[in-house]
Structure 1
Amino acid sequence: MILRFGYVSTALSLWEASPSRTLTFTNWKKLNEEQRKEKLYFATEQNLKNTLRALHYNIAHGISVYRMSSSLVPLATHPEVKWDYLTPFSGLFKKIGELVADSKLRVSFHPNQFTLFTSPKAHITENAIIDMRYHYSMLKAMGLHKEATMNLHVGGAYGDKDAAVSRFHQNFIKLDPEIRQQTTLENDDKTYTAKETLRVCEHHSIPFVFDYHHHWANPGKEAFEELLPRIFATWEGTKKRPKFHLSSPKSENEYRAHAEYVDIDFALPFIKALKSYGESADIMIEAKGKDKAALTFVEQLSKVRGYKRIDGATIEL
Structure 2
Amino acid sequence: MRLDVQPWGATIGEVVEAARAAESAGAGVAWTPELHRSAPVVAAAIAAGTSTIGVGTGIALAFARSAMLTALTAADLDELSGGRFRLGLGTGVSRLNQDWHGVEFAKPVARMRDSVAIIRAVEAGGDPIVHEGVRSIAVRGWRRPYPAARPRIPIYLAAVGPAMLRLTAQIADGWLSHELCPPSTLRDQVRPVLGSRKIDIVASACCSVDADAGAARRRAANVVGFYASVRSYADMFAAAGFAEVTAMAGAALRAGRPADSLGDLIPDEMVDAYAVAGTPAECVARLKQYDGLADGIKLSPPSYGLDADEVRAAQHGLLELVGSHS
Q: TM-score, normalised by structure 2?
A: 0.50
| 1:184 matches 2:156 | yes
Which structure has the highest helix share of the two?
2
Asked if the contact 1:258/1:286 (under 8 Å) is kept, the reply is no
Pick from 215, 219, 229: which aligns with 1:253? 229
Match of 1:57 among 10, 14, 21: 21
Corresponding residue SS for 1:134: helix
Secondary structure of the structure 2 residue equivalent to 1:211: coil
Q: How does 1:276-291 map to 2 (within 5 A)?
A: 277=292, 280-285=295-300, 287-288=302-303
Gaps of 5+ in 2: 99-103, 125-151, 207-222, 234-258, 264-269, 277-284, 304-309
For 1:173, the equivalent position in structure 2 comes to: 117
Deviation (angstroms), 1:202: 1.9
Matched residue of 1:184: which SS? strand
Taking only aligned residues, the RMSD between alpha carbons, in angstroms, comes to: 4.6
The 2-side partners of 1:265 and 1:58 are apart by 25
Counterpart CA distance in 1 for 2:170 and 2:196 is 13
Matches within 5 A, 1:178-257: 178=123, 181-187=153-159, 193-213=160-180, 223-226=185-188, 227-228=190-191, 231=194, 233=196, 235-236=198-199, 242-247=201-206, 248-251=223-226, 252-253=228-229
1:239-293 residue CA offsets vs partner (Å, 9 max, x unmatched): xx53222134234425877789994443369846523x36652323263276644
Asked if structure 1 preserves the Cα contact closer than 8 Å seen for 2:91 and 2:108, the reply is: no
How many correspondences in the alignment? 221
Gapped regions of structure 1 (runs ≥ 5): 13-17, 20-46, 75-85, 87-91, 117-123, 188-192, 217-221, 300-308
Letter in 2 for 1:250: G
Paired letter, 2:290: L
60-69 vs 260-269, which deviates more? 260-269
TM-score (norm 1): 0.51
Is the 8 Å Cα contact of residues 40 and 60 (structure 2) preserved in structure 1?
no
Aligned-residue offset at 1:59? 3.8
- Where do residues 49-198 of structure 1 align in structure 2 (5 Å cutoff)? 52-68=16-32, 70=38, 73=41, 96=49, 99-101=50-52, 105-110=53-58, 112-113=60-61, 115-116=62-63, 126=66, 128-144=67-83, 147-156=84-93, 163-177=107-121, 178=123, 181-187=153-159, 193-198=160-165
State the partner residue of 1:29. Answer: none
Relative contact order, higher structure (CA 8 A, sep 6+): 1
**1:186 positional shift:** 0.8
CA contact (8 A) 1:245 1:286 kept: no
In the TM superposition, residue 185 of structure 1 has moved relative to its aligned partner by 0.7
